[in-house]
């Protein structure tokens, strides 16, 4: 189980009685937060920091504990911040600065200087906030009485993002084949990705996978077909084509398990030894939390895996999507997003059907795929681009809507949405920002989740939504 450590600052200036009270308050607060957050993370108290040496000692615990995904810090009294410098310089995990108090209300009738000295977060947290800022340490600030619902919700958000970052740091991505020939936005600096996000992105020959796929047994394929039939409706009579995909998925699973892989890419330009482009095989894996990016798009693949981790336990769907085509009816503009095959069935509004139809691209046999209409609701569309000297994340608020008419001849799963604040501003903003045609879309996450991920990983963020105007998005063109 993941945990957050709760690390509180004080000093020995106020005497033993005060430190005893500080420790007792901390214990009570840690217990309260633990109780409220226990479905996401456990909260565990560390001894109070009162010297530089004790700060270093506790930060070492934070770093060395593999179950620890981050640290919540707070100054109960004044804690001179020079004694935090060396510890904070060592910190390797996400940090939350919780600006709170042990008490909610001021005891107006009884307040004296002892009370003031004991409860002075307004003072001590400013000293501490300065040193975080001075050291340029990426961190999150949450303000509010710790028992208030909104404060707990903000800490819960931090916990989910911190868990996703811990997952990111351990994520391995397999690229079967390379980036699609000549395509720019899907490419990127894999060395920098590993430095900043921890992603170990490695290339494998599709033949490495085919070797495993060729050894998949009839019994294993039967079991996978049973899984498909329990989840989806078989529409096709071409069962052999579906069995071919079942074989691929078993092969992927074996490959991923052996190498500890959590996300992958493929490309229709490099399918040597495969009869079909992976369709239902990729889709069913995505629904299980495996990241996916087509055409060698390792960034979208990894980001989708990390965001699925962030969305764990939150209602809604998260996965890869591609911008495709528009309905430009004036005032009712909609975007139709899909892909050749690979949309996650997590987005299915109704039970997906399995069908085998031509792909009309590449030179392979007709692939089996899942077809469905999508769920509706507020969502974020998030892409990551490589600007040459930094990564940029673009986050657009959208509203997924019901498709206005049936599309009986469209042989793929699809999602339709309204751009915000309106079609022209939303689309222009995405284009000025250099947004990709591949993205992660999520009805579980929102802009705040994405912004927190960006703050804690030091990633540039551009947001587009109801607070955007045509003049504000046009300014994006001036960013360098």
Q: Which residues bind Mn ion (CB under 5 A)?
A: 294, 322
Structure tokens that stand for 108 in this block? 């107006």
Q: How far is the CB of 180 from Mn ion (least distance, A)?
A: 8
C-beta closer to Mn ion: residue 6 or 264: 264
Q: How far is the CB of 292 from Mn ion (least distance, A)?
A: 11
C-beta closer to Mn ion: residue 144 or 294: 294
Structure tokens that stand for 442 in this block? 């999520």
Q: How far is the CB of 364 from Mn ion (least distance, A)?
A: 16
C-beta closer to Mn ion: residue 183 or 461: 183
Q: How far is the CB of 285 from Mn ion (least distance, A)?
A: 17
Q: How far is the CB of 178 from Mn ion (least distance, A)?
A: 15
Q: How far is the CB of 417 from Mn ion (least distance, A)?
A: 17
C-beta closer to Mn ion: residue 6 or 320: 320
Q: How far is the CB of 412 from Mn ion (least distance, A)?
A: 12
Question: Would you give the distance in Å from CA 30 to the centre of its chain?
Answer: 26
Beta bridge partners of 390: none
C-beta closer to Mn ion: residue 93 or 339: 339
C-alpha–C-alpha distance, residues 360 and 377, integer Å: 31
Beta bridge partners of 321: 439
| CA dihedral over 368, 373, 378, 382, signed as positive or negative | positive
Q: How far is the CB of 320 from Mn ion (least distance, A)?
A: 9
C-beta closer to Mn ion: residue 83 or 338: 338
C-alpha–C-alpha distance, residues 209 and 285, integer Å: 15
C-beta closer to Mn ion: residue 307 or 453: 307
Half-sphere exposure of 219 (CA within 13 A, CB side): 0
Q: How far is the CB of 282 from Mn ion (least distance, A)?
A: 12
Q: How far is the CB of 137 from Mn ion (least distance, A)?
A: 37
C-beta closer to Mn ion: residue 253 or 342: 342
| Three state DSSP letters for the chain | CCEEEEEEECCHHHCHHHHHHHHHHHHHHHHHHHHHHCCCCEEEECCCECCHHHHHHHHHHHHHCCCEEEEEEEECCCCCCHHHHHHHHHCCCCEEEEECCCCCCCCCCCCCHHHHHHCCHHHHHHHHHHHHHHCCCCCEEEECCCCCHHHHHHHHHHHHHHHHHHHHHCCEEEEECCCCCCCCCCCCCHHHHHHHHCCEEEEECHHHHHHHHCCCCHHHHHHHHHHHHHHCEECCCCHHHHHHHHHHHHHHHHHHHHHCCCEEEECCCCCCCCCCCCCHHHHHHHCCCCEEEECCCHHHHHHHHHHHHHCCCCCCCEEEEEEEEEECCCCCCEEEEECCCCCCHHHECCCCEEEECCCCCCCCCCCEEEECCECCEEEEEEEEEECCCCEEEEEEEEEEECCCCCCCCCCCCCEEEEECCCHHHHHHHHHHCCCCCEEEEECCCCHHHHHHHHHHHCCEEEEECCCCCHHHHHHHHHCC
C-alpha–C-alpha distance, residues 190 and 98, integer Å: 34
C-beta closer to Mn ion: residue 322 or 386: 322
C-beta closer to Mn ion: residue 294 or 429: 294
Q: How far is the CB of 277 from Mn ion (least distance, A)?
A: 12
C-beta closer to Mn ion: residue 267 or 425: 267
C-alpha–C-alpha distance, residues 457 and 480, integer Å: 20
C-beta closer to Mn ion: residue 279 or 294: 294
Residue number of the CB closest to Mn ion reads 322
Q: How far is the CB of 343 from Mn ion (least distance, A)?
A: 11
């Amino acid at each position: 189980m993941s945990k957050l450590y709760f690390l509180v600052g004080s000093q020995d200036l106020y005497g033993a009685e005060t430190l005893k009270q500080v420790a007792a308050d901390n214990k009570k607060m840690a217990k309260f937060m633990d109780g409220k957050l226990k479905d996401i993370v456990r909260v565990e108290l560390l001894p109070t920091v009162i010297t530089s040496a004790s700060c270093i000692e506790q930060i070492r615990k934070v770093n060395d504990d593999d179950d620890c995904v981050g640290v919540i810090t707070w100054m109960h009294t004044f804690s001179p911040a020079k004694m935090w410098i060396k510890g904070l310089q060592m910190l390797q995990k996400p940090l939350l600065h919780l600006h709170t108090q042990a008490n909610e209300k001021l005891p107006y009738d009884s307040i004296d200087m002892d009370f003031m000295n004991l409860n002075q977060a307004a003072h001590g947290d400013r000293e501490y906030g300065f040193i975080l800022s001075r050291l340029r340490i990426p961190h999150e600030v949450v303000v509010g009485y710790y028992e208030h619902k909104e404060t707990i919700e903000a800490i819960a958000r931090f916990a989910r993002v911190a868990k996703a970052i811990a997952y990111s740091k351990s994520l391995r991505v397999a690229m079967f084949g390379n980036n699609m020939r000549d395509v720019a936005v899907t490419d990127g600096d894999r060395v920098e990705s590993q430095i900043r996000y921890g992603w170990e992105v490695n290339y494998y020959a599709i033949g490495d996978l085919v070797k495993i796929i060729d050894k998949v047994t009839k019994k294993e394929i039967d079991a996978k077909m049973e899984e498909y039939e329990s989840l989806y409706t078989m529409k096709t009579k071409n069962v052999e084509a579906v069995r071919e995909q079942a074989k691929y998925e078993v092969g992927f699973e074996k490959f991923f398990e052996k190498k500890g892989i959590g996300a992958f890419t493929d490309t229709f330009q490099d399918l040597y030894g495969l009869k079909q482009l992976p369709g239902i095989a990729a889709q069913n894996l995505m629904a299980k939390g495996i990241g996916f990016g087509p055409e060698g798009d390792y960034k979208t693949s990894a980001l989708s895996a990390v965001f699925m981790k962030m969305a764990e336990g939150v209602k809604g769907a998260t996965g890869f999507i591609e911008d495709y085509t528009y309905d430009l009816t004036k005032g009712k503009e909609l975007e139709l997003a899909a892909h050749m095959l690979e949309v996650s069935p997590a987005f299915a509004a109704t039970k997906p059907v399995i069908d085998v139809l031509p792909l009309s691209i590449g030179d392979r046999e007709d692939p089996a795929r899942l077809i469905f209409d999508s769920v509706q609701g507020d969502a974020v569309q998030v892409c990551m681009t490589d600007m040459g000297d930094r990564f940029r994340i673009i986050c657009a608020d959208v509203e997924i809507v019901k498709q206005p008419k049936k599309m009986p001849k469209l042989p793929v799963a699809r999602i339709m949405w309204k751009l915000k604040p309106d079609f022209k501003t939303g689309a222009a903003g995405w284009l000025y920002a250099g947004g990709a045609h591949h993205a992660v879309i999520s009805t579980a996450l929102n802009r705040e989740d994405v912004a927190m991920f960006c703050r804690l990983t030091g990633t540039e963020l551009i947001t587009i939504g109801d607070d955007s105007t045509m003049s504000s998005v046009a300014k994006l063109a001036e960013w360098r």
